[in-house]
Amino acid sequence: MDTVCDWGADPDDLVNSYLHQCPAREILAVLADKWVLLVLGVLRSSGAPVRFNDLRRRLDGITQKMLTQTLRTLEREGLVLRSVYPTVPPRVEYSLTDLGNDLGRVTHLLGEWTVEHKDQIIAARAEFDERQVAVPTPL
């Protein structure tokens, strides 16, 4: 086992997962992507397999290329299942795996927190931006 990432009873063990050598850091980087969270959210909320174009319609602003890359990443991570049906043209659907559903509980909480605190965050941004405008730039 990799001692850099081993988790035990010590609360500092979680911090070790942020070290460069730990695979958990790479996984966290994948999960922290905006489109990953949004794709997972759409798949979780649908409760049924979703076709590519339906995903694209529901994810305002995502390009076809970005959606394809995101779905491939999620499939590689074991979070999304891609099902291809032998029709003409082929029908392709995406759904969450058990692992993806488990992660969905966490990402759903993050989404709820975001909605609950969005006004506070927007106000903090505005305050920060006002302070930045008021600060004179050094010569």
CATH numbers and ranges of domains, the chain: 13-133 (1.10.10.10)
Q: Is the pLDDT of residue 114 over 50?
A: yes
Q: In which region does residue 78 sit, left (phi positive, over 0), alpha (psi from -120 to 50) or beta (all else)?
A: left
Helix, strand, coil content of the chain in percent (nearest 5): 60, 10, 30
For residue 116, give both structure tokens: 């609950």
* Cα–Cα nearest to 23, from 7, 39, 46: 7
Mean residue pLDDT across the chain: 87
Beta strands in 2-62 (DSSP E): 50-51
Tens digit of pLDDT for each residue in 90-108? 899 999 999 999 998 899 8
Residue 1 confidence (pLDDT): 45
Q: What is the pLDDT of residues 21-73, one digit of tens each?
A: 777 788 888 888 999 999 999 999 998 999 999 999 999 999 999 999 999 99
Between 95 and 14, whose confidence is greater? 95
More confident residue, 17 or 88: 88
| pLDDT at residue number 72 | 97
Q: Is the pLDDT of residue 78 over 70?
A: yes
pLDDT at 15: 65
Lowest-pLDDT range of 11-15, 68-72, 120-124, 131-135? 11-15
Per the rule left: phi > 0, alpha: psi between -120 and 50, beta: everything else, 115 is alpha
